[in-house]
């Protein structure tokens, strides 16, 4: 079963005038893209479940790509580490 991915543009909470792009998986925010240094972007998430890079081999175009998997779940920050909490049953 595939998860529906959607996006939402918002103002950055801590940096006035900077827009961010929220990544939603199944309606839950699972990551954020915001401007990096120079002509770059930064992707952040407490919900990364896996990543892989491809050099473009096997694609129609020889364009590098990055695949990111998310596992949206509640979390807390404890002793400087992200700790996933058990999902609450509905």
Show the tokens assigned to 65.
């790509």
* Percent of the chain scoring above 70 in pLDDT: 92
The yes-or-no verdict on residue 61 having pLDDT over 90 is no
Q: Report the alpha-carbon distance of residue 65 to residue 74 in Å, rounded.
A: 28
Q: Report the alpha-carbon distance of residue 72 to residue 90 in Å, rounded.
A: 15
The yes-or-no verdict on residue 90 having pLDDT over 60 is no
User: Cα angle vertex 64, ends 8, 71, to 5°?
Assistant: 45
> CB–CB of 3/50 below 8 Å?
no
Per-residue pLDDT band at 58 (split at 50, 70, 90): low
């Amino acid at each position: 079963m595939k998860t529906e991915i959607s996006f939402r543009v918002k103002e950055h909470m801590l940096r006035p005038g900077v827009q961010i792009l929220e990544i939603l998986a199944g309606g839950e925010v699972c990551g954020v893209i915001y401007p990096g240094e120079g002509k770059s972007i930064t992707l952040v998430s407490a919900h990364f479940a896996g990543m892989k890079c491809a050099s473009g081999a096997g694609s129609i175009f020889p364009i590098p790509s990055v695949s990111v998997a998310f596992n949206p779940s509640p979390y807390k920050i404890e002793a400087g580490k992200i700790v996933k909490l058990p999902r609450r049953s509905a």
